[in-house]
A and B are shown apart, each in its own frame.
Chain A
Amino acid sequence: MQSDTQDRALYEWIALRCQSGDASAFEDLVAAMERPLLYYATSLTGNPDSGLDVLQEVWIKAFRGIAKLKDPGALRSWLYSITHGLAVDRIRRNASRERAEAVELEDFQEADDASFAAEDAAAIHHALGEISLRHREVLVLHFLEDLSIAEIAKVVDCSEGTVKSRMHYAKRAMKEILSGGNYEKGK
């Protein structure tokens, strides 16, 4: 809990430094967020090189827009939503988002509290690549940053109920894959 508060305070401080024109602040921001954002961009685009291209655009957009960021405490979710938007644009341009565009059954259902902490990171990393894009995007945000449902909803631009539903199905799919079940991506 303390670590989480400290993390939030740290990111807010970096955002405020960027807004006040501190020359080294943006470098600190890049150093702190480069890996998680690259992981997110790569898991959305499915390719590390495309992830890098997305990330480059993210930094440019963030550099130009950070002065106008109203809530510096929302720095991480703001960066993730930029990354999400740019990655989705890229996927659409590449016309490979067909499965993600398919309408999914998204009845509200409370996400269970299944924890994957005990699982092997390699297996989780592999399983993340197996689930559908919409499920993957919420789960990566949950694993990487422990963002709240409201914050994830902002990032992926949908309602909190939809996020809970996706999280539920994503966790179920992950459990199925991790236990060696026969998971179908479109499900």
Chain B
Amino acid sequence: MKKGSDGLRERLLARLPQPENIAVYREETESLLAKHKRALSAEKWSGYVLTLCVYVLAMLIMNGWAERHGHEVSVFFEVTASVLFFVLMYMGLGTAIHKYQVDTLKEVKQVQLQILELQASLRKDESR
């Protein structure tokens, strides 16, 4: 049984009784989603700020420690700071690459959908 081909799916869905509190559900869902959208945005930005603060704080502490303990510790500090910096850059780059991948896939999928729609309309024309 192919979905949509025999219409059973639609006929079954039409049997679904309309719940009494659908309007309340829609209103509540909308406001909950808006709340979660704000929360997600806040979590994202607070994550960035927290990472940056931890990095700066770690640098300040290590810098002070290196100044007190001379050249060898200073070299250790520079190496650690560089490694931390590259780890952060790597993570940022990974996120950016993923974002571009998603955007590209989205475009590809949109083109695929347009092609499929064109093929479907061509088949309709041919069958007439």
Which residues of chain B from 46 to 82 have any CB-CB distance to chain A below 8 Å in the complex? none
Task: State which size class the interface on A falls in.
Answer: 35 or more
In the docked arrangement, what's the CA distance between A63 and B33, Å?
Answer: 7
Q: Is the CB of A143 within 8 A of B21?
A: no
B95 CB to nearest chain A CB (Å): 11
User: Given the known A-B contacts A48-B19, A125-B12, are A16 and B33 also in contact in the complex, defined by CB atoms under 8 Å?
Assistant: no
The chain A residue sitting closest to B109, CB to CB, is A13
Q: Is the CB of A36 within 8 A of B13?
A: yes
Partner of B21, one of A6, A49, A60, A117: A49
Which residues of chain A from 22 to 76 have any CB-CB distance to chain B below 8 Å in the complex? 26, 30, 35-36, 38-39, 42, 48-49, 51-53, 55-56, 59-60, 63-64, 72
Contact with A along B86-128 (1 / 0, CB 8 A): 0000000000000100110110011011001101100100000
User: Given the known A-B contacts A2-B116, A60-B36, A121-B14, are A51 and B8 also in contact in the complex, defined by CB atoms under 8 Å?
Assistant: no
Q: Is the CB of A16 within 8 A of B3?
A: no
Query: B-side interface residues toward A, CB under 8 Å?
Result: 1-6, 8-9, 11-22, 25, 28-29, 32-33, 36-37, 40, 99, 102-103, 105-106, 109-110, 112-113, 116-117, 119-120, 123
Query: A-side interface residues toward B, CB under 8 Å?
Result: 1-7, 9-10, 12-13, 16-17, 19-20, 26, 30, 35-36, 38-39, 42, 48-49, 51-53, 55-56, 59-60, 63-64, 72, 115-117, 121-122, 124-125, 142-146
